[in-house]
Amino acid sequence: MPKPAPTLAYQTAPLHSPPALALTVAAFADADVVSVSGDVDLASAEQLGAALTAARRPGRALVADLSGIAFFDSAAAHALLEAQRAAAAAGSGLLVVPSPAVDRVLGLTGLDVLFRLCADLTEAVTRGRAALRT
């Protein structure tokens, strides 16, 4: 009777856990800031869009601080674009503080020209405040 072939048992584990999406909202004098960190992809892009929609208020600048994002895909770019369109229709617009990952995707897709990109949060709040006065 032939011997059964040995079976190999192994388990794969991810090399690292992807950072969870973290969203916080803060109100400044003339601007509302949605800060996002972690990965924004197909699974979490809807959360980004919902947070930006919920934070938008008439007569106030809306800032998306995306400087903490490690991964940003086309679904995330679409959510950001939809938030920008909705903010523009409401008369407030959207200022974006991109991380290198966000900047890369927006640049590669040509969407960077559609957003008011800012180097940091201070610049975004200042530009948002100035835009409200004009």
Domain ranges of the chain: 22-133
Confidence band for 114, pLDDT divided at 50, 70 and 90: very high
Maximum alpha-carbon separation in the chain: 89
Q: Which range among 14-18, 96-100, 105-109, 121-125 shows the weakest confidence by mean pLDDT?
A: 14-18
Query: For residue range 60-85, what is the model confidence (pLDDT) as tens digits?
Result: 899 999 999 999 999 999 999 999 99
Q: What is the pLDDT of the chain when averaged over all its residues?
A: 88
Please say whether the structural domain 22-133 has been given the CATH code 3.30.750.24.
Answer: yes
Query: For residue range 27-65, what is the model confidence (pLDDT) as tens digits?
Result: 988 899 999 999 999 999 999 999 999 999 888 899 999
Q: What gap in Å lies between CA 66 and CA 38, rounded to an integer?
A: 9
**Average pLDDT for 109-129:** 94
Q: Is the pLDDT of residue 6 over 60?
A: no
User: What contacts 123, CB < 8 A, 6 or more positions away?
Assistant: 97
Tokens of 100: 């290198």
